[in-house]
Structures are given as structure tokens and as C-alpha cells.
């Protein structure tokens, strides 16, 4: 159904109302000059009215626009062009960022003003009732369409922010995926380097330095194990699994253990060895605590 017809149907606005509004055109004719002035007298009491109707020029333009709008309420053509015009008026108020509450309050004034005229000018009770019903319908339609511009504006803002959010999330996801791939490549490169270290450490054995060769080979094997763990964890993470913090503590543990092996070989100061052993103890404790939490979660 065409928008204008749909609105009319929802307000039960019929040809009878059009006829009533035509009658009202004659009745209200003598008030068209007074209306904008009375409107302004009422509206200027709104606390921020001066912010919008800020100078004599704007007030004059508004008075003129209001007079035209008031005249078109009566005996007009209430089709698509009328609704479009109301939407434009609504949009104008949205553009100047007028609080919709002011439009509602001002429309309330227009209703009271029109009701007063009808009460004053129409003596017949039934006629008065019909005219009142029709003016109420057309003013409600006006308010509905004018304020719908505010709702449309809100929807637009929401859609834009939703689109931007979608773009931002999509971009961050792709960026994070790219970083993860770089991490995997880095870990693979690390694996290759540890393999090199392993071969180098092994060479000490063939050179006859068996103790150094064995201990440092053990250290590089431990590092290889850690790299494998890290690659596995990262792959799991890329497949959507959770990140295992325990692996990182494992890395630190292995690094300290390797250091201990090397310091034993070099027969360095006992204090250094003790502090490394304490570090292993602390890291071991943390590793145990984290694995307990992981177990509970599973």
C-alpha cells in the first residue's frame, strides 16, 4: 500500500475528515495571521528555544513557514506530496538538532489552539465533535510523520555504526590471523635453528668433549621439545582452540634448565647455580598451579 494511504488508513482518516477539514478552512481563515505569533509566544518559553530561533530573520522565516503549514492543514491534498513535505519538515528539524520533545510540546500547543478555535466558533455539538475528531487526526498524522524523521535518523546512525563495527571486527580478525601466521613461520624458523644448535652440540661429542657434548645436546633437545610444543599450541589456537599459558611457563622452565646444565659445565659460582635452581622451583610451582586450573576447567 502506498505510504500516504497506509498512514491515512492507520488513523482512520476518511473523505469525511477531508470534508470536515475543508469546513475548518473557512472557520480558521481569520486566525492564520495570529497562529504563528501565538505559536512563537508559546515556544519561546522553552528553555533552549533561543538556540534554534536565534535571530529576527530565523524567527521571521519560521513564522512564514508555520503560516503556510497551518493553512495546508485545512482542505488540502493529503496524498504522497503532503507526506513528503512533512518528512522534509521533520528532516529540517533533525538537521538543526532540535530536541524531538520540543516538536511534541509545540504540536500539543497547536492542538490546544485549534480546539479553542473550534470550541469558540462552532455552536452545534455534533458538528463540533466531528471537526475536533478530524483536526486531531490530521495533527496526529503530522506529528507522526515529522517525528518519524528522528527515528529514521537514529536508524541510519545505528546502521552506520553497525557497518563500521563489522568492518573493524573483520579487519582485526584478518590482522590477528596474519600475525598468527607470522608467528607460526617464526616458530618453524626457530625449530630449524634449534636443529642447527643440536648438530653443533653433537659435534662436541665427536671432538672428544663428551661431557660438554652430552649436556649441551640435552639442552638443545629440550629447546627442540619446547619449539614443538609452541608450534602445536599455535596450530591448535589457529584451529580455534584455547591458548595454553602453561606452554609459556614450560618455555621459561626449559630455558632455565638449559642454563643450569651449561653453568654446571663451566663450574661457575655456586650462588648463580642456587639462584637458577630457585628459579626452576618457582617456575615449577607456577606450572603446577596453572596445570591444576587447566585440569579443573576440562
* Residues in contact with ligand HEM, shown as a per-residue x/- string from 110 to 129 under the rule CB under 6 A: x-------------------
Q: How far is the CB of 13 from ligand HEM (least distance, A)?
A: 18
* Residues 238 and 184: beta-carbon distance below 8 Å: yes
The region that residue 275 occupies, defined by phi over 0 for left and psi between -120 and 50 for alpha, beta otherwise, is alpha
> Cα separation of 127 and 122, whole Å?
7
**Is the Cβ of residue 118 or residue 194 nearer to ligand HEM in the bound state?**
118
Q: How far is the CB of 34 from ligand HEM (least distance, A)?
A: 16
Q: Which of 18, 107, 251, 262 binds ligand HEM (CB under 6 A)?
A: 107
Q: How far is the CB of 97 from ligand HEM (least distance, A)?
A: 10
Site for ligand HEM in 159-188 (CB under 6 A): none
Site for ligand HEM in 37-76 (CB under 6 A): 43, 46, 49, 52-53, 58, 61-62, 65-66, 69
Q: How far is the CB of 102 from ligand HEM (least distance, A)?
A: 4
Which H/E stretch holds residue 29? Answer: none
Q: How far is CA 256 from CA 250, 271, 272, in A?
A: 10, 15, 12
Buried b (16+ CB within 10 A) or exposed e, 136-172: ebbbbbbbebbbebbeebeeeeeeeeeeeeeeeeeee
* Residues 219 and 261: beta-carbon distance below 8 Å: yes
Count of residues in contact with ligand HEM, rule CB under 6 A:
22
Which H/E stretch holds residue 208? Answer: none
**Is the Cβ of residue 108 or residue 174 nearer to ligand HEM in the bound state?**
108
Cβ-proximal residues to 260 (8 Å cutoff; 6+ apart), any chain: 273, 276, 277, 280
Q: Does residue 138 interact with ligand HEM by CB under 6 A? A: no
* Residues 233 and 180: beta-carbon distance below 8 Å: no
**Is the Cβ of residue 99 or residue 236 nearer to ligand HEM in the bound state?**
99
Site for ligand HEM in 76-105 (CB under 6 A): 88-89, 92-93, 96, 98, 102-103
**Is the Cβ of residue 106 or residue 249 nearer to ligand HEM in the bound state?**
106
Question: Which residues make up the interface to ligand HEM (CB under 6 A)?
Answer: 43, 46, 49, 52-53, 58, 61-62, 65-66, 69, 88-89, 92-93, 96, 98, 102-103, 106-107, 110
Amino acid at each position: 500500500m502506498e505510504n500516504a494511504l497506509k498512514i491515512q488508513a492507520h488513523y482512520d482518516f476518511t473523505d469525511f475528515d477531508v470534508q470536515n477539514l475543508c469546513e475548518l478552512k473557512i472557520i480558521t481563515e481569520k486566525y492564520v495571521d495570529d497562529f504563528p505569533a501565538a505559536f512563537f509566544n508559546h515556544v519561546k518559553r522553552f528553555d533552549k528555544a533561543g538556540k534554534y530561533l536565534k535571530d529576527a530573520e530565523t524567527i521571521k522565516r519560521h513564522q512564514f513557514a508555520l503560516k503556510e503549514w497551518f493553512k495546508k492543514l485545512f482542505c488540502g491534498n493529503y496524498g504522497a506530496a503532503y507526506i513528503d513535505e512533512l518528512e522534509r519538515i521533520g528532516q529540517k528539524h533533525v538537521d538543526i538538532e532540535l530536541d524531538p520533545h520540543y516538536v511534541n510540546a509545540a504540536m500539543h500547543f497547536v492542538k490546544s489552539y485549534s480546539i479553542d478555535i473550534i470550541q469558540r466558533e462552532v455552536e452545534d455539538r455534533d458538528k463540533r465533535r466531528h471537526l475536533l475528531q478530524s483536526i486531531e487526526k490530521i495533527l496526529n498524522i503530522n506529528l507522526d510523520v515529522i517525528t518519524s524523521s528522528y527515528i529514521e535518523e537514529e536508524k541510519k546512525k545505528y546502521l552506520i555504526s553497525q557497518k563500521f563495527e563489522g568492518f573493524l571486527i573483520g579487519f582485526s580478525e584478518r590482522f590477528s590471523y596474519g600475525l598468527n601466521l607470522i608467528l607460526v613461520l617464526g616458530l618453524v624458523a626457530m625449530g630449524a635453528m634449534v636443529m642447527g644448535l643440536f648438530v653443533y652440540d653433537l659435534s662436541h661429542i665427536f671432538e672428544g668433549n663428551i661431557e660438554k657434548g652430552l649436556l649441551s645436546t640435552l639442552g638443545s633437545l629440550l629447546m627442540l621439545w619446547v619449539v614443538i610444543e609452541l608450534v602445536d599450541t599455535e596450530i591448535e589456537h589457529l584451529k580455534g582452540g584455547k591458548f595454553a599459558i602453561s606452554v609459556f611457563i614450560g618455555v621459561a622452565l626449559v630455558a632455565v634448565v638449559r642454563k643450569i646444565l651449561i653453568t654446571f659445565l663451566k663450574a661457575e659460582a655456586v650462588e648463580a647455580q642456587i639462584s637458577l635452581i630457585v628459579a626452576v622451583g618457582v617456575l615449577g610451582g607456577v606450572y603446577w598451579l596453572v596445570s591444576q586450573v587447566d585440569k579443573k576447567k576440562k
